[in-house]
Every structure is written in C-alpha cells, then in structure tokens.
Amino acid sequence: MSAKIQVQVRTFASLRQALGTASLALDLPSDATVDDLLERLSADYPAAASHLSTTLVAVNHAYADRAQPLAPGDEVAIFPPVSGGAVGEKAQIFVALSSDPIDPLALSEMVVEPGSGAVVTFNGMVRDNNLGRSVRYLEYEAYAEMAEAKIQQIVAEARERWPAIRRVAVVHRTGHLEIGEMAVLVAIGAPRRNDGAFEATRYVIDRIKEIVPIWKKEVWADGEEWLEGDYRPQTGE
C-alpha cells in the first residue's frame, strides 16, 4: 500500500458554496501536488469542477502554483480570484478585518502625528447599483489569517516605494453590509502632500483588490452572485 499524507483543505466564497463545505481533511499520495489535490476534488465533487478549473490556491497562507508538492499537515486554501487586526512596528501600521462598522474619524486619527502634515484617506462605500443591476446589499467573506498578512505585505510594499509615508491604517469589513456602509478604509499620513501619500493610498487599495483573499457577494431583488476579479497572483506573491 502506497504511503499517504493528509492535508487540511479550506474553501471560500463561491467555491465553498459549490463544494458544500468550508473545510475538509483529504488523504493523498505522499508525492501529491496541488494539481493532484484539485483533480481529486474535481472527481469527488463534479458539480464544482468548473469552479476548480479557475481557482486560486494558497498553501500555508502563501500563493502556490499547481506543481507545488504538498506535505503532511499543510493547510491548502482554494478560492476564486479575489473581488476586490494586527499592529505593526511602533504602532505605525494598523491592519484589521472587522464585522463592525468602520469609524473613519478614529482610523484617520491613528495616522495623525506631529511629523505628518498630510493625511490622505480612501473610503470604499457600498453603492446601490452595479453593471446596470439594482443592489440590495453585499456580503463580504475573508480568509482572515491570510488576508491580514497580505494587507501587511501591501503596506510594506507601499512604504518601500514611498519611504516618506509614516503611519498607515487599513480596515476592511466582513459580513453583511447595507447600501451606504463603508466597506474599506485606507488612511496614510506623510510629512507633506507631495511625499507619496496620494500615490500610496491608491496603490494600497488597488493591491488589496488583486491579492487579498476577500470576496463580495452582490444580492439583488431577483438573485445573487459572488464577484470575481481576473488578476492571477504569482507563486509566493
């Protein structure tokens, strides 16, 4: 009998719905790769095969390609392309996911300090329409452990590109959001308005929508849909 390994699989958003489970333990051959795992799931859950063909995969919270070997006890997260707290060094960075409403004043005050003469914020709001459809409300779901780590990574990327920026605060909502509620806030402080705060704020929100595993479901009067992007993160990104 060939040797086996067991991995823990987690699923999210539309893929979770298609598979009918948020987590499962899977026994695989000892030389199994990510691709082998996806083929096994396609065979076990044929109704989800179309979803699995375009899925993204993370192994132990890092994006992985399909050739990556798996090891016993690995956590393998599979999810559609993303739609879209932790406190960093000397409290200069605040990153969090929250099921509670965002307080924009409190977050803006987090990035105010004597050395910052400019504070730039971006507020992402829930609007009542998208692509010609009337939206009733949104549901946000996150792979929390990986999402917070990826936002921290994005903030580090922004600070490397614009080293003059100082404090950064990012909060993203999860759960049920009504029209007009704030879904995400990015606040960045810098010494002056020309020190990269505008550019860094735009960079952070754009990267969140590329690589952070957070998904939103639009609910309308006559249906609903998990929205997916088209960015494909590279291995380890």
pLDDT tens digit string along 9-47? 999 988 898 889 999 999 999 999 999 999 999 999 988
Tell me what pLDDT residue 237 has: 77
Q: What is the architecture of the domain spanning 86-227?
A: Alpha-Beta Complex (3.90)
Quick check: 236 pLDDT over 80?
A: no
Extents of the domains making up the chain: 4-79, 86-227
Q: Which two tokens stand for residue 141?
A: 């779901």
| Across 173-187, average pLDDT | 98
Tell me what pLDDT residue 84 has: 57
The mean pLDDT value of the chain amounts to 91
Tell me what pLDDT residue 88 has: 44
* Topology (CATH level 3) of domain 4-79: Ubiquitin-like (UB roll) (3.10.20)
175-184 burial, b if ≥16 CB within 10 A, otherwise e? eebeeeebbb
3-state SS, residue 174? coil
Tell me what pLDDT residue 69 has: 96
pLDDT tens digit string along 188-216? 999 999 999 999 999 999 999 999 999 99
Tell me what pLDDT residue 131 has: 87
Residue 51 carries which side chain, given as an amino acid letter?
A: H
Tell me what pLDDT residue 23 has: 94
Asked if 139 and 219 count as a contact pair (C-beta separation under 8 A), the reply is yes
pLDDT tens digit string along 63-112? 999 999 999 999 999 988 876 544 444 448 899 999 999 999 988 999 99
Asked if 85 and 171 count as a contact pair (C-beta separation under 8 A), the reply is yes
